[in-house]
Every structure is written in structure tokens, then in C-alpha cells.
Chains A and B, each alone.
Chain A
Amino acid sequence: AQKITQTQPGMFVQEKEAVTLDCTYDTSDQSYGLFWYKQPSSGEMIFLIYQGSYDEQNATEGRYSLNFQKARKSANLVISASQLGDSAMYFCAMSLMNTGFQKLVFGTGTRLLVSP
């Protein structure tokens, strides 16, 4: 069965520093997609970044980058130059591409706290 594992329940980082949030996944499919979402205390899920399993380059979106290591089945999120507004829950999710319809499987999340 497809599964996403986020082993860090909480992470602390100082403002302006970089932080890596871990995500490992388990699937026997060759074709899949990986997403990261941010959930502030308001509750809304905000899309951050996407990586396809066949993408050769790591995805980047502004201060967010995805460190994709296919052989290790990991898709870690790197946030550079942390800001106070980055304090939130972060969720890794996987979508399957062989079903013809997107189904997302989510991890349990990592709570990031950015201190001044």
C-alpha cells in the first residue's frame, strides 16, 4: 500500500536559517507525484511545490526546493532563509498516476516553529 512517512513531529529554526523537513514514501508504482502543503493555524492547506517521479531536476519554487532522491524514496522539503510566517504544519503527499484520477495520500505532518 502507498504510504507517506514524516518522522519529525516538530522542528525549530531561527529566522533567516535554512531548514529541511523530511519525507519518505513507499510505493511500488513507477509513476507518481509528490506534493508539499503548508497548513497555518487558520487551517487552510496551501500548495507549495510539486515533483514528478520522472522529473530529473529537483523542483524549486522561490524559497522552497524539493530534494528528491528516488533511490532512497525520499522527497525532503528545504526552506531557505526562514521567515516568522513560515511557522506552520507542513504535509508531504503522494499522488498515484496509474489510476487515471488523482488520489492524494498524506503524511502526518511536521510542525515548524521559526524563532526571531
Chain B
Amino acid sequence: DGGITQSPKYLFRKEGQNVTLSCEQNLNHDAMYWYRQDPGQGLRLIYYSQIVNDFQKGDIAEGYSVSREKKESFPLTVTSAQKNPTAFYLCASSARGGPTDTQYFGPGTRLTVL
């Protein structure tokens, strides 16, 4: 079945550590996205990528980094520079990143900083 997978489902991090969240899609989509969701709020865009080896900062990119070495994969690293990383992280993809494309989401990763 085609879809988007994210791992792990739950992640615990000590302060000062970097952690990497995985996102894989087998939909043959060109565009991929990372969002952050805080309690009681909507989603905010962290990074997006329209093609392999290219990505752009979203609205809240500080303290995060990404790579896009393969079409299927778009991992997100939460660095120690991110001051308040505890949140729910959602990965999405769309066919081409065009304005009318539908974004499809993965099941999310819940990150907690201890």
C-alpha cells in the first residue's frame, strides 16, 4: 500500500542532544514537507523540498535541519539549538508541490524533551 511512514512514533530526548526523525514515502511524490504542531494550535511549516537535493526553510526553521538525498526520504534533525522542541511532528508529501496539490500526511512523531 502506498503511503507515508514516520518513525519513531514516540521519541524522548535529553537536553543538548540532536535527534533525527524519519519520513519515508512510496507515493512517488516530488514534494515533501515537515510541520510542527503544538497543543491547541494548527500546523506550522518547518522545511519543504520540491526536488531531490533542494529544500527551503519554512516559517519556523531555526534549530532544525533536513536533507533530501533520495526522492522517498526527507529526514528532519532537531538540533540542540531548538529551544522548545517538545511537540508533535508531521511529515507530508504532494505530487509536485503545486498550489492545488493535496498534501498527504504521515502518522506523526511525538517528541518529548526530558
Contacts and interface: CB of A to CB of B under 8 A. Distances in A.
Interface of A: 4, 31-33, 35, 37, 42-47, 50, 52, 91, 93, 95-104, 106-109
B105 A102 contact: no
B106 A91 contact: no
B98 A102 contact: yes
A103 B100 contact: no
A88 B47 CA distance: 26
B101 A102 contact: yes
A1 to B, nearest CB: 11
B108 interface: yes
A16 B103 CA distance: 29
Interface of B: 31, 40-45, 48, 50, 56, 58, 88, 90, 92, 94, 97-108, 110
Contacts of A50: 100, 102
B97 A45 contact: no
A42 B103 contact: no
Contacts of B103: 35, 47, 102, 104
Contacts of A98: 99
A4 B42 CA distance: 10
A95 to B, nearest CB: 5
A91 B43 contact: yes
A35 to B, nearest CB: 7
